[in-house]
Amino acid sequence: MPARHAADGTASPGLSETGDAIDSNIMSSAENPVILGIETSCDETAAAVLRGRTILSNVIASQTDIHREYGGVVPELASRHHLERIDLVVDLALGRAGTRLADLDAVAVTCGPGLVGSLLVGLQAAKAIAYVRSIPLLAVNHLEGHLRSVFLEHPGVPFPAVSLIASGGHTSLYLSGDEDRAVRLARTRDDASGEAFDKVAKLVGLGYPGGPVVDRLARSGDRKAVPFSPPRMSDGSLDFSFSGFKTAVLRHARARGLDRRFPAGEPDQETRDLLASFQSAVVEFMVKRVLTVARREAARSICLSGGVACNSLLRARLAEEAAGAGLQCFAVSPSLAGDNAAMIAEVGRRKLLLGEVADLSQNADPGLEF
């Protein structure tokens, strides 16, 4: 059954919910278990309930407003705020789904990668629920969550599929033979793509997170105004690298006196042109990499996930190039692109089916690989 989710609705500042509330008692079955997902790896406190592949609720309490004044995520503040909100967010997710703790078949939680203090909050909450209800604990890799967010939303993705995960912490390419097998083909050697957007926004005096604001301002800029040269790997690898784009922006902004000229107001046309050129260069670099790998691996489809999947130019250009190459393109919806717990519950659902259950000694692993 395809995943379903309603449009975002803001419940209170910094808190968003998706999912259709249901009012009858929840019925689970072996094929359609009711799973609570919990995600606290960075600065979103998130909980979601899935029944099978159906998203019953998807609650995300964002900490963006708290970290904005520091220009990035402050780990100590993040864990403290997770601690303050986790119970409320879990209660909201259960309530919105029309479920109680007693209805749950399992609890899935992100165990890494991420900020250790933040991960531990979600992990302890999940362990407590698993222990008290005597239900399986499912330990989930955050990046597998992003990868699978596309399969959750589009159950008919044809394989082999090449997936680009582009977020604030990671930018990697994977080849999936089916839903359960993914091999990493490339990763970033320095900054993540979202990190590059955030740093560039910061150095021209725009707020955090930078991705959405660059995306918006680039719409009224000339993407051909400033030339950028994409990085070339001397070993011929298809890995990504984004720090050169950021340095080029820094040099150009300094030379033209564009850095930090607009701390409060809207940037001028020259800055918009620079941002549009930067965004276009980064997007074309990523799209080219994805298409090269997809052709080499004889993929049938291309999948896009992670926070940077919200980028309007990336979505459009990837869809365009995929269509030109005869490939299907699946970009996750913005409501499932950023960090969320529905994707964590979905990985948990597969783990439950495969019998991959964690025990209560499960620890957080900030550097967990995928």
Interface with ligand KG4 by CB under 6 A: which residues? 42, 167-169, 194-195, 197-198, 209-212, 215, 306-308, 310-311, 338-339
Kindly write out the interface string for residues 156-175 of this chain, putting x where it contacts Zn ion by CB under 5 A and - elsewhere.
-----------x--------
Comparing CB distances to ligand KG4, the nearer of 78 and 94 is 78
Min dist. Cβ of residue 305 to ligand KG4 (A) = 8
How near is the Cβ of 352 to Zn ion at its closest, in Å?
22
Among Zn ion, ligand KG4, none, what binds residue 145 when CB lies within 5 to 8 Å by partner kind? none
Nearest to 169 by CA among 96, 113, 93, 100: 113
Residue with smaller CB distance to ligand KG4, 103 or 195: 195
39 makes contact, choosing from ligand KG4, Zn ion, none, with CB < 5 to 8 Å by partner type, with none
Give strand ranges (E) for the chain.
9-12, 15-18, 34-39, 44-51, 54-62, 106-112, 137-141, 161-166, 171-178, 181-187, 301-305, 328-331
* Residue 188 binding Zn ion, by CB under 5 A: no
Read off the amino acid at residue 229.
S
Is the CB of 35 or the CB of 310 nearer to ligand KG4? 310
CB of 306 to Zn ion, least distance (A): 6
Tokens standing for residue 25? 């008692």
Question: What, of ligand KG4, Zn ion, none, does residue 270 touch, CB below 5 to 8 Å by kind?
Answer: none
Residues pairing with 62 in the sheet: 44
3-state SS assignment for residue 167: coil
Distance CA 241, CA 223 (A): 20
Q: Which does 136 bind (CB under 5 to 8 A by kind): Zn ion, ligand KG4, none?
A: none
Q: Which residue has the tokens 């964590």?
A: 344
Dihedrals phi, psi of 261, to nearest 5 degrees: -90, -10
Closest CA to 332 of 318, 321, 347, 320: 318
By beta-carbon proximity to Zn ion, the closer residue of 41 and 176 is 41
Nearer of residues 271 and 305 to Zn ion, judged by Cβ: 305
Interatomic CA distance for residues 317 and 239, integer angstroms = 20
Binding partner of residue 18 among ligand KG4, Zn ion, none, CB under 5 to 8 Å per kind? none
The CB-of-167 to Zn ion minimum distance in angstroms stands at 4
* Residue 198 binds which of Zn ion, ligand KG4, none (CB < 5-8 A, kind-dependent): ligand KG4
Give 240's strand partners: 188
* Of the residues 105, 191, 339, 346, which one makes contact with Zn ion according to CB under 5 A: 339
Of 290, 292, 336, 293, nearest to 317 by C-alpha is: 290
Six token digits for residue 14: 């910094």
First-last CA distance in the chain: 27
Handedness of CA 18, 23, 29, 31 (dihedral sign): negative
**Of residues 215 and 346, the one with the C-beta less far from ligand KG4:** 215
**What distance in Å separates the CA atoms of residue 162 and residue 346, rounded to the nearest whole number?**
19
CB of 93 to ligand KG4, least distance (A): 18
Beta carbon nearer to Zn ion, 26 or 47: 47
189 vs 300, beta carbon nearer ligand KG4: 189
Smallest separation (angstroms) from Zn ion to the CB of 169: 6
Q: Where do contacts with Zn ion occur on this chain (CB under 5 A)?
A: 167, 339
